[in-house]
Amino acid sequence: MKITYSTSKINSFGGINFANSIIVNNGICSTTDQLLGNRGIRSGYSYSDLFRSYLLMTLCGGECAEDITEHLRGELRHVRDFNVCSANTLLRMQKELSTQKETFISDTGISHEFNVNMAMNNLMVNLLVNTGQLDPGNKGYVYKHATLLP
């Protein structure tokens, strides 16, 4: 074991920079912004910034949006090329991306409520393909209404 002394600030979540690099280098941010588009003119964060905030917060042990503001802001502030947003901003994004629930009645008369969000489904399929978890050449998959990016 080699011990070194450092005068620089030590981050208890130093490994989060590696996770952030994987997210950025796999095109997750660019795919997210390409498929979901831009937020409002006054928005200071893109959708990819907000998704990355949630993911990095979760990897640091956060369980809810408020953890990013209350407990992890100082730690996440040290992630390279990343601007930490507030819990309020994360919750506003959730509301922006929400869709109306749809009610379906089965043949037996039972009512089922679903929230079908095609934009998010399309994003998920594209991210799975981009990260190599799905093979677009496999004919056994069903990409219902998903448009795969080139």
Nearest Cα residue to 66 out of 35, 43, 83, 89: 89
For the chain, the domains span 16-130
State pLDDT tens for residues 68-114: 999 888 888 888 888 889 999 999 999 989 999 999 999 999 999 98
Q: Is the pLDDT of residue 148 over 90?
A: no
pLDDT computed for residue 91 by the predictor: 93
Q: Is the pLDDT of residue 12 over 90?
A: no
Nearest Cα residue to 114 out of 128, 100, 133: 100
pLDDT computed for residue 135 by the predictor: 87
State pLDDT tens for residues 21-56: 999 999 999 999 999 998 888 888 999 999 999 999
Measured N-to-C along each axis, helices 28-36 and 118-130 cross at an angle, to the nearest 10 degrees, of 150
pTM of the model as a whole:
0.77
Residue 2 backbone phi and psi in degrees, to 5: -110, 130
Q: How far is CA 116 from CA 23, 97, 103, 146, in A?
A: 26, 11, 10, 13
pLDDT classification of 9: cutoffs 50, 70, 90: low
Q: Report d(CA 134, CA 33) in Å as an integer.
A: 20
pLDDT classification of 15: cutoffs 50, 70, 90: confident
pLDDT computed for residue 32 by the predictor: 94
